[in-house]
Structure 1
């Protein structure tokens, strides 16, 4: 049986830390601007001189999107409501989480998204953002059928369900880039679907570019992005500040939209390869459990001369197969001992003869 308690939302800490900032007071306005620090950190103004993501559609699997927010006007297409309140267009949001994630991708106003010329396709998978595996799987399946370019999933589940793996595999087969949050502490492991090979599992970093304390770690991490004190669109035509890998996930999904707009002929794995090959390496050299391949470098991903992808899984979270490393040192030692032993037996036998 699948229980809703098996779902650990990546915004669990965001809900605790989030604040509705309102619309009028100058102090609020300053706080709103402060929470958009990720734009200067990622040099998105420079990136937007190259592309703003036009022609790309990002499915946001979440609590729905309030399309009446002025910063989202014209940026959200009719989607789907897969909750008991559906069918519908996904334009209803009771928690504000989906509205905030959409804003980080396509907002154009007081706050600005990563790909303001792209479109968000909302997929409301649960009323309060506390759905189960079946609801998330249905949302992925529906988004895949719409042939979107990117699927953004700001949630993490502690249950490895075969049906979710199948749904993700179908999305990847359809050449869709799937981006998902790794999860927030106190969880100890990367959640699902982020832990599924092929998914871009996103961890968080703070303003200093260092690993965010709220972000879980694990071998499945692919990329890191800003996650702390991020402002975006909120309910009631206001703004919301939150902290968590949910925000980092939406930021990466927006960056992927920019890459897909800039390089429309690249396959999904090639898009991810460009994302990881240009990342700013942090922590131990190479890929690691805190940062993955590093912190996202949006301008580099749009401009760098990136070598071609050598294999479909080279830039994803596919686990390393030890067998692919060839024989280890102890294999050679044991083999040598066996060969020497056989030779000694042969020599001894000949002497006896």
Structure 2
């Protein structure tokens, strides 16, 4: 049987349940303080701009529990396989609940509990993988088909799988339906290279970094990597109202899916391909200048993705500076390629063109950590 592989390792499968704390609205409990990735990504500043309202993120995984930090954002979904409660809202593994919490946990009163990147986004849970086992690749395909039929805005896939005919068809149909697909690149040593569907053209492929901002040793490398996000000791929700700490590109993928939800909420008419482009174009470059196989285009920058004046794909590919009077991608209504995804990965996310006969290269360098802030769209 062909199976998918979850891209996360539980460093701590479940932590003791909710802690009683003083009823002080200024108090941040210990769950929130363990979410180092929120501070690293300046999530609080980004959430003053967008919180993911109006966006539905499908999570094909081990189901999603009705965790107190998450329950208000949890839609009824589906069980692709038997063993759940029928609508995806039961998880006996913890992986799916952890991913959903990283995307859209809303926390509890008085700053208790955990917080997702997009705390007003909705989660569409899809149970396709049995507890503590890898899911079947065609069950994953069925989950993606369900998400497409339900008009999800984003599909977050924290797994790698063999590229079966049905899975490839499901992924490509979702891309054609203007859905942003975010997928884990894979974990060493199980994955020697970027797995599927992260390797599919048009899918946003995610690698990982640690708290020091450097490449996480567990994260695979390869030419398909688009962006990276925190992937080490990531604290999130788990089953039975508890919490978990995980390491792997699963976690980084859920975080990037939350970032995509912020962008889709602020720019609801932006095609899926432009949402992906906005995330890659504003990423903070790491490693060698430009795209590289460990960091892709760099670490996601939530605030820049929401505020930078990012030229649309076609403009950036033709000229380094948009012509006078051309508005940014943020102002464009949905249209153009309809979010079908990149014709080639490099053209969409790097923005390069070599003029025939002269070899002239126009390229807008990726941002580095010491660069000034990007221009803000007005």
Shorter-chain TM-score bucket reads 0.7 to 0.9
Superposed, 1:114-153 pairs within 5 Å as 114-128=117-131, 129-153=133-157
Aligned residue among 78, 81, 84 for 1:83: 81
Counterparts in 2 of 1:152 and 1:24: CA distance versus 1, 3 Å = closer
Q: Alpha-carbon deviations, 1:125-175, whole Å to 9, x = none? A: 122251121111111111111111000000012x22232221111000000
Shift of 1:180: 0.5
CA distance in 2, matches of 1:328, 1:216: 36
Alignment correspondent of 2:283: 279
Counterparts in 2 of 1:315 and 1:230: CA distance versus 1, 3 Å = farther
Alignment correspondent of 1:177: 180
Q: Alpha-carbon deviations, 1:46-98, whole Å to 9, x = none? A: 0111110100000001000001x110121100001101236811011110000
Shift of 1:24: 5.1
Alignment correspondent of 2:5: 8
Alignment correspondent of 2:260: 256
The 8 Å contact of residues 10 and 156 in structure 1, kept in 2 or not, is answered as yes
Counterparts in 2 of 1:160 and 1:324: CA distance versus 1, 3 Å = farther
Asked if 1:313 is matched to 2:304, the reply is: no
**Secondary structure of the corresponding residue to residue 74 of structure 1:** helix
The 8 Å contact of residues 201 and 344 in structure 2, kept in 1 or not, is answered as no
CA distance in 2, matches of 1:327, 1:178: 36
CA distance in 1, matches of 2:177, 2:354: 27
Alignment correspondent of 1:192: 196
Alignment correspondent of 1:154: 158
Shift of 1:191: 0.8
Counterparts in 2 of 1:324 and 1:144: CA distance versus 1, 3 Å = farther
Counterparts in 2 of 1:34 and 1:228: CA distance versus 1, 3 Å = farther
Aligned residue among 307, 313, 336 for 1:303: 307
The 8 Å contact of residues 184 and 245 in structure 1, kept in 2 or not, is answered as yes
The 8 Å contact of residues 56 and 152 in structure 2, kept in 1 or not, is answered as yes
Alignment correspondent of 1:55: 54
The 8 Å contact of residues 208 and 229 in structure 2, kept in 1 or not, is answered as yes
Q: Tell me the TM-score normalized by structure 2.
A: 0.79
CA distance in 1, matches of 2:214, 2:355: 31
Q: Alpha-carbon deviations, 1:275-319, whole Å to 9, x = none? A: 100000111111111111110000000000111112752894689
CA distance in 2, matches of 1:274, 1:65: 29
Counterparts in 2 of 1:140 and 1:325: CA distance versus 1, 3 Å = farther
Greater per-residue helix proportion: 1
Shift of 1:327: 7.5
Q: Where in structure 1 are there 5+ consecutive unaligned residues?
A: 330-353
Q: Alpha-carbon deviations, 1:93-130, whole Å to 9, x = none? A: 11000001110011111100000001000011122251
CA distance in 2, matches of 1:318, 1:195: 15
Aligned residue among 195, 208, 211 for 2:215: 211
CA distance in 1, matches of 2:95, 2:175: 25
Q: Tell me the TM-score normalized by structure 1.
A: 0.84
**Secondary structure of the corresponding residue to residue 248 of structure 1:** helix
**Secondary structure of the corresponding residue to residue 129 of structure 2:** coil
The 8 Å contact of residues 138 and 164 in structure 2, kept in 1 or not, is answered as no
CA distance in 2, matches of 1:84, 1:19: 23
**Secondary structure of the corresponding residue to residue 182 of structure 2:** strand
Alignment correspondent of 2:171: 168
> What is the CA RMSD across the aligned residues, in angstroms?
2.5
CA distance in 1, matches of 2:355, 2:138: 37
**Secondary structure of the corresponding residue to residue 268 of structure 2:** coil
**Secondary structure of the corresponding residue to residue 212 of structure 2:** coil
Alignment correspondent of 2:14: 20
CA distance in 1, matches of 2:346, 2:7: 19
Q: Where in structure 2 are there 5+ consecutive unaligned residues?
A: 21-27, 108-112, 318-340, 360-378
The 8 Å contact of residues 32 and 115 in structure 2, kept in 1 or not, is answered as no
CA distance in 1, matches of 2:357, 2:163: 31
Counterparts in 2 of 1:201 and 1:61: CA distance versus 1, 3 Å = same
Over alpha carbons, which structure has the higher Rg? 1
